[in-house]
Amino acid sequence: MINIFIPGTKEKPKSYSVTNTVYQPTQHAGQDSLQYEISRRESVVRELARTCPFKPGDTAKPVTPAAQAKWGTKILVQKICSSYAHLGKDEKWPSNDNPMIITAWSHDKKTTFFCTTNFLEKV
């Protein structure tokens, strides 16, 4: 049997805490920051839904040629989300404040997808 001896002191292992980096809105006087961010996002979604040029049942096509190649040229608008509470729980809020509030159906690809209001244009 071979014994190996390494001189020196054994360092105590360092412990690291793993934290998720989450967008932290700025604190406003007299308002809880989380409460403020939820109300701000709610107003963004409501305004986008109010100004959306589509309604359920409209036919549209993607704006860019690359998106037309991916999704096809005949898109049916199924639903438009009008409240932040109705967005998907796993949906990450975009940094440009333009969430995907339209549920659309691609006739060419036979699939459902989500998009922003400026992703489509009326046919």
CATH code for the domain in which residue 110 is found:
2.30.30
pLDDT in tens, 57-70: 999 999 999 999 99
12 or 18: which carries more pLDDT confidence? 12
- Residue 49: inside a domain: yes
- Residue 26: inside a domain: no
- Residue 104: inside a domain: yes
Determine the distance from the C-alpha atom of residue 110 to the mean position of all C-alpha atoms in its chain, rounded to a whole number.
23
* CB-based contact 79:102 (threshold 8 Å): yes
- Residue 9: inside a domain: no
Residue 27 has pLDDT above 80, yes or no: no
E strands along 30-107, which residues?
A: 59-62, 75-80, 102-106
- Residue 1: inside a domain: no
- Residue 109: inside a domain: yes
Which ranges in the chain belong to alpha helices (H)?
33-51, 65-71
- Residue 27: inside a domain: no
Residue 8 has pLDDT above 80, yes or no: no
* Token pair in block for residue 70: 């991916």
Q: How many domains does the chain have?
A: 1
* Token pair in block for residue 14: 């360092």
- Residue 94: inside a domain: yes
Q: Give the closest residue to 81 by CA, choosing from 39, 52, 108.
A: 52
Tell me, what's the pLDDT at 16? 57
Strand order of the sheet with strand 102-106?
111-115, 102-106, 75-80, 59-62, 120-122
Residue 118: domain span: 33-122
Place of tokens 């998907």: 88
